[in-house]
Amino acid sequence: MAKFSQIKQFIYQKIESGDWPENHPVSSENALANQFAVSRMTARRALQELADEGLVIRTQGSGTFVAPIKSQTSFMAIRNIADEVRSRGHRYRAKVHTLREETANAHVAAALNIETGAAVFHSVVSHYEDELPVQVEERFVNPQLVPDYLRQDFSKVTPHEYLCVVSPLTEASHQIEAVLPSPTLCHWLILDKPEPCLRIIRRTWSSEGVVTFATLTHPGSRFQLGGHLTFNGLSNTTKE
């Protein structure tokens, strides 16, 4: 593991274990450089990447502190939301609202590359961080590729975890938009009144075809997107 990654892992563990709660001071660049026998520039890179990810806040003249916990994910990666919540030292739980077989309308059928009116599996799950939901996940699944989807208990394992085992991801696409939630979404997200929400629309493929079409809705006051890119040369490119 690269030295800067070791520093990041050390700080992740301190935050996850609760040793460093919200607003706790983080070791300085000099202290980390001495602890890990690296240059100050390497320590600075680790702290800057953590700041880019939203886990720490760096203030000129004051130092670096553990950021107030606000749900965050990366738009460049697909991670299990349960792991994200637990990595912040918080409790994760899920509430299943819908889990059933339906017939695909034209929009869902086009997204899954199946015939309109064909059978499709439909799930809606609220994902909680401590006592508040941070995401409502609505997912349509191709039953030909994941025939046992409806037999799962998604209060114990997330759809993402299950799908990664039975139909490993080979490709994904994202669309990101700002929306105002419907009354039903307000209820599921426990919002007293509508507030701007961030919605990620995602399609995922396995080697056999399109597996799922999902809509992930997050309340803006509890969520942010972040990421960090490292460029090794002018020819580097990134893609979803």
Query: Which of these, 39, 13, 37, 38, lies nearest to 26 by C-alpha position?
Result: 13
Domain boundary among 68, 88, 106: 68
Number of domains in the chain: 2
pLDDT, one tens digit per residue, over 39-55 is 999 999 889 888 877 78
Residue 192 lies in a domain: yes
Residue 228 lies in a domain: no
* DSSP result, 2-70: -HHHHHHHHHHHHHHHTSS-TTPBPPPHHHHHHHHT--HHHHHHHHHHHHHTTSEEEETTTEEEEPPP-
Task: Indicate whether 34 and 118 sit together in one domain.
Answer: no
The CATH number for 7's domain is 1.10.10.10
pLDDT, one tens digit per residue, over 227-236 is 554 444 444 4
pLDDT, one tens digit per residue, over 168-204 is 877 788 888 899 999 999 999 999 999 999 999 999 9
Residue 238 lies in a domain: no
Going from the C-alpha of 93 to that of each of 13, 19, 47, 133, 153, the distances in angstroms are: 21, 23, 30, 9, 12
* DSSP result, 142-203: -TTT-TTGGGS-TTTS-HHHHHHHHS---EEEEEEEEEPPPHHHHHHTT-SS---EEEEEEE
Task: Indicate whether 92 and 154 sit together in one domain.
Answer: yes
The CATH number for 178's domain is 3.40.1410.10
Domain boundary among 24, 47, 68: 68
Domain with 90, as residue range(s), is 73-223
pLDDT, one tens digit per residue, over 118-170 is 999 999 999 999 999 999 999 999 999 999 999 999 999 999 999 988 888 77
